[in-house]
Amino acid sequence: MVKKHFGTDGIRGRVGEHPITAEFMLRLGWAAGRVFSRDGRGRILIGKDTRVSGYMFESALEAGLASAGVDVSLLGPMPTPAIAYLTRTFKASAGIVISASHNPFYDNGVKFFSSKGEKLDDEIEYAIEEELEADMQMVASDRIGKVSRINDAAGRYVEFCKSCFPDDLNLKGMKIALDCAHGATYHIAPKVLAELGAEVIEQGTSPDGFNINKGVGSTEPAALIALVKETNADLGIALDGDGDRLIMVDAVGEVVDGDELLLVMCADRLASGELKGGVVGTLMSNFGLEEALDGLKVPFVRAAVGDRYVLSELLLRNWTLGGESSGHLICRDMTTTGDGIVSALQVLAAMVRSDKPLEQLKRGMQKYPQHMINVSCGQKVDLSSHSEVADAVKATEKQLAGKGRVLLRPSGTEPVVRVMVEGEDDLIVSTLTKDLAQRVADALS
């Protein structure tokens, strides 16, 4: 079966264009309510990031859920991982996140969490899509869902994050530059770090509904690099708009990506005897991570791109540590989904325990040059049906002579094909990526 609306990470698109409209969100709320109330009345939590359209979609989802007979609890602006955590602790039927993650303000979307705080199984997403095709009928007046607000949601999550940092350690004497992307962590992350003893220098903590991810955050690290250098901070922490992605900057101003952060966390847990099993990466994980883990004799496997697939692989193997180079990192012994704040605390704990700066801890990995170009495709495409694309890939692989990788991947959230080439020589890799991207674009045009 092919999903009509759900992609790799929920439903996402341009506000005002189907399906990111108030009318669709009303129907989506009703459809989800129908599915999640099959075993009883049900209660669903709704949180959102800081983009202006979130208020409109919150109201529409709330109305749809209530009309299906489901009780609704509103959380207000909260990070995606916070909604996963609160869904579990409140024993709710599901959690809904209104967010487009690292996208600009004019995009938005919806993500769901199960009662366990995990991404939905495909079967449930299919069930919701099936209900979306049905005639919308409201329950009887005496069965309409009730709506309430959880006023202490932020405080609950702050305390949870702090509990993920070792009790015998603190951040006193550490100066941290923090970039919250004007997103959902703006009122959470500064408190967590400050209450653990750090001196926090903030940016990206003044959301106005339109500035989320604009020139700041994990996808725009230049502003954080400048802040780290300007303030002589020990390191920088950059989160994305919904708080599930983490990128860091070391004291010399170099970006430390998800692969490098995974290695730092893995090495720390290995040294303390806390590492369980191996590490799960993705098809996009740098080969340097695989080599470094092999040197530590730590097993490594690649999952499909997307944190839901990383989590699935972790559950299958009963491992606890995995993530993506983009900064979606999962510490399954602490939480059920990618969490930027919790992941940052693990790296900070490694720094404190080892008494080493981040720029030294990351040296265990030699990154291979990796270039990626997004090729617009306008719609979902089946690359296997284009023989000229397969020929172009083979030609590129031949030029790499067994010392690199080629990956073509249709995005689950954007109408693009991601063309990635990885190898030993940066100039050669860059040239090959451009050539391959052009051949893919020509084939898909």
Q: Which of 89-93, 221-225, 384-388 has the lowest mean pLDDT?
A: 384-388
Examine residue 3 and state whether it is found in any structural domain, yes or no: no
What global pTM score does this model have? 0.90
Question: Any idea which residue has 């993506």 for tokens?
Answer: 324
| Confidence at 307, pLDDT banded by 50, 70, 90 | confident
Burial of 303 (0-12, 13-18, 19+ CB in 10 A): buried
Mean local confidence (pLDDT), 258-281: 97
Query: Is residue 1 predicted with pLDDT exceeding 90?
Result: no
Decide if 2 is inside a domain. no
The pLDDT of residue 355 is 97
Q: Given pLDDT bands bounded at 50, 70 and 90, which one contains residue 413?
A: low
Structural domain includes residue 145: yes
Domain CATH for 397: 3.30.310.50
CATH number at residue 84: 3.40.120.10
Q: What is the pLDDT of residue 226?
A: 98
- Asked if 345 and 267 touch (Cβ cutoff 8 Å), the reply is no
Based on the fold, state whether residues 345 and 299 are members of the same structural domain.
yes
What is the average pLDDT value for the chain, to the nearest integer? 95
pLDDT at 39: 82
pLDDT band at 403 (very low <50, low <70, confident <90, very high): confident
Last residue of a domain, one of 100, 117, 151: 151
pLDDT of the residue at 337: 94
| Domain boundary, last residue among 109, 134, 151 | 151
Per-position DSSP letters for 342-410, written without gaps between them? HHHHHHHHHHHHHT--HHHHGGG--PPPEEEEEEE-SS---GGG-HHHHHHHHHHHHHHTTSEEEEEEE
Question: Within 13 Å, how many C-alpha atoms sit on residue 311's CB side?
Answer: 22
Same domain, 328 and 424: no
Range with the lowest mean pLDDT among 56-60, 174-178, 245-249, 385-389? 385-389
118 plus 211 within the same structural domain: no
Position 404 scores a pLDDT of 82
Is residue 88 located within the same domain as residue 174?
no
Q: Would the pLDDT of 255 be above 90?
A: yes
Cα–Cα distance, 422 to 372 (Å, whole number): 9
Q: How confident is the model at residue 8 (pLDDT cuts 50, 70, 90)?
A: confident
Question: Tokens 């209900």 belong to which residue?
Answer: 131
Is 6 part of a structural domain of the chain?
A: no
321 and 224 within one domain: yes
What 3-state DSSP class applies to 172? coil
Please give the DSSP secondary-structure letter assigned to residue 328. Answer: -
Report how far apart, in Å, the C-alpha atoms of 306 and of each of 112, 247, 371, 388 are: 15, 17, 19, 27
Residue among 276, 279, 252, 242 at smallest CA distance from 264: 279
Residues 305 and 207 in one domain: yes
Domain coverage including residue 213: 157-364
> Which one of 364, 397, 432 terminates a domain?
364
* CA dihedral over 290, 292, 294, 298, signed as positive or negative: negative
Domain count, the chain: 3
145 and 170 both lie in a single domain: no
> What residues are annotated to the active site?
101
Same domain, 207 and 323: yes
Per DSSP, what are the bridge partners of residue 149? 74
Same domain, 139 and 61: yes
161 and 126 within one domain: no
pLDDT tens-digit series, residues 124-182: 999 999 999 999 999 999 999 999 999 999 999 999 999 999 999 999 999 999 999 99
pLDDT tens, residue by residue, 11-38: 999 999 999 999 999 999 999 999 999 8
8 A C-beta contact, residue 249 and residue 228 = yes
Structural domain includes residue 430:
yes
Whole-angstrom distance, CA of residue 47 vs CA of residue 33: 16
Q: What is the average per-residue pLDDT within 267-289?
A: 95
Q: Is residue 20 part of a domain?
A: yes
| pLDDT, position 89 | 97
Q: What is the mean pLDDT of residues 406-434?
A: 90
Asked if residue 192 and residue 229 are part of one domain, the reply reads: yes
Q: 91 with 188, same domain?
A: no
